Amino acid sequence: MANPLDQFIIKPIEAFKPIEIAGYDVSFTNSSLYMCLAVISIVLLFAFCLRKKELVPGKAQLFGEGLYAFIKNTVKENAGHKGEKYFPFIFSLFLFVAFGNILGLTPYSFTFTSHLAAVGGLALIGLAFNMIVGIKNRKFGYLRVFMPKGIPWPLAPLIVPIEMISLLSKPFSLTVRLIANMTVGHIMLKIIAGFIVVLGVGGIVPLTFSSLIVIFEIFISLLQAYIFTILSCIYLGDAINEH
């Protein structure tokens, strides 16, 4: 039985030459390959959905437009009217994470959303984006994030560090939740699938079980991508709207 953790190893793809910049290994790895695949499949999907542009949409077009409207409504509800301007960022974030999760479910593939580096990077980009947008919208008023209204000033030395940590902990908790869900699901699938061959005829039981888990995993991967998006919207709303 193969080690269930083997699927998370990042290895450079041998067809490409190893690249090294300033002492860092930046070769094209299976992780980067699946990120590229995710982007390509997103583009292909939307090109397919929108190949016929009709006033009354067909099935494929309805799917694409429905996805768009769904995320648009999420942004509107959670980040307010001001946040609608930043919809493209949120939409690309959602699609990238969702496709990373779903591509990772196909056999022999690699799930880049199960890695701290990939998802943490996305969350940090989100945090930096929130800060830039917040400062752009509220100028110095953005500093109110660290010192909410109605708090007496002698408490400032206590409140400011707490608020700072609270702000920094948000992307971290976002990341941990996504990678924990993805990692757990994949390890569970691999272990249960390992029993199928070992048990012989009795392997039907784990086979049924793992098929059910795959369905559940598809649901979880979409749900987690949605949670990642909805929380990014809420944090974006916190950054731009004054309370």
Partner 1 sequence: MKTLQKSSTRQIANKHPILAIYLRSCNINMRNEKRDIDELADRIKKLDKSNNTDEKKTNDGIIAGARIGTRLVVDFLSAILIGAAMGYFLDETLNTKPFLFIFLLLAGAGAGFLNIYRFLKSLEEKKEK
Contact between 158 and partner 1 by CB under 8 A: the answer reads: yes
CA 214, chain centre distance (Å): 19
Of the candidate residues 36, 128, 165, 198, the single one contacting partner 1 (CB under 8 A)? 165
- Output the smallest distance, CB 200 to partner 1, in A: 34
**Are 107 and 214 contacting, i.e. CB atoms less than 8 angstroms apart?**
no
Instruction: Pick the stretch among 23-31, 170-178, 187-195, 207-215 that binds partner 1 (CB under 8 A).
Output: 170-178
Q: Which is nearer to partner 1, 185 or 206 (CB)?
A: 185
- Output the smallest distance, CB 88 to partner 1, in A: 23
**Are 68 and 50 contacting, i.e. CB atoms less than 8 angstroms apart?**
no
Contact between 18 and partner 1 by CB under 8 A: the answer reads: no
Of the candidate residues 72, 144, 177, 190, the single one contacting partner 1 (CB under 8 A)? 177
Phi, psi of 54 (to 5 degrees): -110, 160
Of the candidate residues 53, 139, 149, 243, the single one contacting partner 1 (CB under 8 A)? 53
Instruction: Determine the Cα angle at 118 with ends 4 and 137, to 5°.
Output: 150
Contact between 214 and partner 1 by CB under 8 A: the answer reads: no
Footprint of partner 1 on 62-91 (CB under 8 A): none
Read off the tokens for 243.
Answer: 């309370």
Query: Cβ contacts of residue 122 below 8 Å, gap of 6+?
Result: 93, 96, 97, 175
Footprint of partner 1 on 113-152 (CB under 8 A): none
Binding-site residue total for partner 1 (CB under 8 A)? 22
- Output the smallest distance, CB 177 to partner 1, in A: 5
| Distance from C-alpha of 209 to C-alpha of 227, rounded to nearest angstrom | 26
- Output the smallest distance, CB 163 to partner 1, in A: 7
Q: Which is nearer to partner 1, 177 or 190 (CB)?
A: 177
Query: Cβ contacts of residue 15 below 8 Å, gap of 6+?
Result: none
Of the candidate residues 14, 21, 54, 152, the single one contacting partner 1 (CB under 8 A)? 54
Contact between 162 and partner 1 by CB under 8 A: the answer reads: yes
Q: Kind and range of the H or E element at 25?
A: strand 24-25
CA 82, chain centre distance (Å): 23
Give the closest residue to 63 by CA, choosing from 51, 49, 53: 49
Contacts with partner 1 by CB under 8 A lie at 51-56, 158, 161-163, 165-166, 168-170, 172-173, 176-177, 180, 223, 227
